[in-house]
C-alpha cells in the first residue's frame, strides 16, 4: 500500500484529520511512551541530528511536526535567535508549551498550529528545518517536502529523523516481533487510543526509507543529500540542503 494511504483509523476523514485526532488522543502519554518504547534512545537520536547543524550555526530554525517540542528544545543548544515549532495537533503542543515554560524557553521557542504541506511562511525564511518522526504522517509526503524546500533559505539545511526498517535478517526478526506485538500492546495499555501504536507499525513498514527517501529528496531538488542508519537501522537521519 502507498504510504500516503496508511491512515490511523481508515475512516473517511482525511489523513491529516485522522493524524491530528490520534495525536490529540495520545498527547498526555506521548513523552512517557516514547521513552518507554525506545528505552530513552530517541533523545540521543535527536542530539545526533542537532550536531549536524552545528557548523552552519542556523539563526532561524523551524521544527516541523514539533509535537511536544523535544526537537525544538534540543535545537536551543545551537544558540539560535528564534525557533518556531509547527504541528497540526494542538493537544501535543499544549504539553510542549508547558515544557517550554518550565525550561524558561518561551521567548526563544514558539509553537504554532501549522501543516507542513500548506504552511504559508514566505519563501527562503529558515536557515534550518528539522522534522522528527513527522514526515511519515504527512498526508502527501512530496507536497510537504516541497513546501519545506520553498521556505528553506538557499544553502539552508534540512534534517529529518524517522523510523526505518532494518535490513539485517536477525535485527529485522527482532524488530518485527517488537513492532508487531510489544509496541501495539504497550501502546494500547498506556495510551487512550487502540489504533495509535498499530498505525505506527503499519506506517513505518509502508514508508519509503533509506535510499528511497533520499531519491525523493533528490527529485525535489534538494542538494548534498544523504542518510545514516541509527541503532542497527531502526531509525535514520536524512540530511539535505537547498
Ligand X SMILES: C[S@@+](CC[C@H](N)C(=O)[O-])C[C@H]1O[C@@H](n2cnc3c(N)ncnc32)[C@H](O)[C@@H]1O
Least spacing, CB of residue 169 vs ligand X, in Å? 27
| C-alpha grid cell, residue 67 | 509535537
How near is the Cβ of 30 to ligand X at its closest, in Å?
Answer: 7
Task: Tell the smallest beta-carbon distance from residue 201 to ligand X (Å).
Answer: 13
User: Which cell is 151 given?
Assistant: 521556505
Concatenated DSSP letters of 181-216: IIHHHHHHHHSS-SSHHHHHHHHHHHS--THHHHHH
Comparing CB distances to ligand X, the nearer of 102 and 169 is: 102
By the 8 A CB rule, do 47 and 74 touch?
yes
Separation of first and last alpha carbons in the chain: 30
Cα 222 from Cα 4, distance rounded (Å): 21
Please provide the DSSP assignment of 148-160 as one string.
Answer: HHHHEEEEEEEEE
DSSP3 helix / strand / coil % (the chain, rounded to 5): 50, 20, 30
Residue with smaller CB distance to ligand X, 33 or 240:
33
Rounded CA gap, 202 and 152, in Å? 30
234 half-sphere exposure, CB direction, 13 A CA radius = 18
Q: Could you tell me the smallest distance in angstroms from the CB atom of residue 170 to ligand X?
A: 27
C-alpha cell at 69: 517540542
Shortest reach from residue 117's CB to ligand X, in Å:
5
* 15-38 and 183-190 helices, crossing angle to 10°: 100
Contact by Cβ (8 Å): 139, 14: yes
Query: 137 or 157: whose CB is closer to ligand X?
Result: 137
Which residue ranges make up the site for ligand X (CB under 6 A)? 19-20, 23, 64-67, 70-71, 86-89, 92, 115-117, 132-134, 137-138, 144
Q: Which is nearer to ligand X, 87 or 202 (CB)?
A: 87
> In angstroms, what is the minimal distance from the CB of 15 to ligand X?
8
Q: Which CB atom, from 203 or from 210, has the smaller least distance to ligand X?
A: 203
Which residue, 68 or 210, has its beta carbon nearer to ligand X?
Answer: 68
Residue facing ligand X at closest CB distance = 67
Give whichever of 59 and 99 is closer to ligand X, judged by the CB atom.
99
Rounded to a whole number of angstroms, the minimum distance from the CB of residue 163 to ligand X is: 9
Amino acid at each position: 500500500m502507498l504510504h500516503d494511504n496508511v491512515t490511523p483509523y481508515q475512516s473517511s476523514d482525511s489523513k491529516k484529520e485522522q493524524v491530528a485526532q490520534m495525536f490529540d488522543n495520545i498527547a498526555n502519554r506521548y513523552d512517557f511512551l516514547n521513552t518507554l518504547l525506545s528505552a530513552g534512545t530517541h533523545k540521543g537520536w535527536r542530539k545526533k541530528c542537532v550536531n549536524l547543524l552545528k557548523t552552519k550555526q542556523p539563526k532561524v530554525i523551524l521544527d516541523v511536526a514539533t509535537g511536544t517540542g523535544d526537537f525544538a528544545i534540543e535545537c536551543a543548544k545551537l544558540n539560535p535567535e528564534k525557533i518556531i515549532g509547527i504541528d497540526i495537533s494542538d493537544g501535543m503542543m499544549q504539553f510542549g508549551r508547558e515544557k517550554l515554560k518550565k525550561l524558561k524557553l518561551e521567548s526563544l521557542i514558539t509553537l504554532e498550529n501549522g501543516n507542513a504541506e500548506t504552511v504559508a511562511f514566505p519563501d527562503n525564511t529558515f536557515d534550518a528545518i528539522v522534522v522528527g518522526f513527522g514526515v511519515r504522517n504527512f498526508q502527501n509526503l512530496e507536497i510537504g517536502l516541497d513546501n519545506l524546500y520553498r521556505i528553506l533559505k538557499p544553502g539552508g539545511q534540512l534534517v529529518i529523523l524517522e523510523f526505518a526498517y532494518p535490513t539485517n535478517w536477525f535485527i529485522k526478526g527482532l524488530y518485527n516481533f517488537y513492532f508487531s506485538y510489544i509496541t501495539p500492546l504497550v501502546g494500547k495499555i498506556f495510551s487512550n487510543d487502540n489504533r495509535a501504536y498499530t498505525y505506527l507499525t503499519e506506517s513505518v513498514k509502508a514508508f519509503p526509507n533509506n535510499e528511497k527517501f533520499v531519491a525523493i529528496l533528490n527529485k525535489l531538488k534538494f542538494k548534498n543529500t544523504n542518510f545514516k542508519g541509527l541503532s542497527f537501522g531502526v531509525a535514520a537521519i536524512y540530511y539535505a540542503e537547498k
